[in-house]
Amino acid sequence: MIVDFITDYTKLIVSQPDSIKVEVHEVDPTFKEIIIFAANEDLGKLIGKSGNMINSLKTMINGCKAKDGVSYKIQVLKA
């Protein structure tokens, strides 16, 4: 559910939606790391001015913590 949401949402933001790849790594049962891979020119769009875009994604993801009890960390990396 979260991976699908992040994938769809980030594809709407970037210039090259085909380059978006989202991976989830389970660190332990209560913590997962989400890694968004994007083209070099789209990294700034995903992070946003002063980090506003990535912080809004983090806020939405943290809302899921209340539902399933899992904490998430988001990273944006160059594909």
Give the 3-state secondary structure of 46-58.
HHCHHHHHHHHHH
Average pLDDT, the chain: 92
What was the pLDDT predicted at 67? 78
Q: Which two tokens stand for residue 4?
A: 């699908």
Cβ(43)–Cβ(51) below 8 Å:
no
* Predicted pLDDT at 48: 93
Mean pLDDT of 65-78: 87
Return the domain boundaries, the chain: 2-78
Instruction: For residue range 27-55, list pLDDT tens digits in order.
Output: 999 999 999 999 999 999 999 999 999 99
Q: How confident is the model at residue 75 (pLDDT cuts 50, 70, 90)?
A: very high
Q: Hey, which CATH number is domain 2-78, 3.40.47.10, 3.20.10.10, 3.30.70.141, 3.30.300.20?
A: 3.30.300.20
Confidence band, pLDDT 50/70/90 cuts, at residue 74: very high
Return the closest-CA partner of residue 10 out of 45, 41, 34, 40.
45
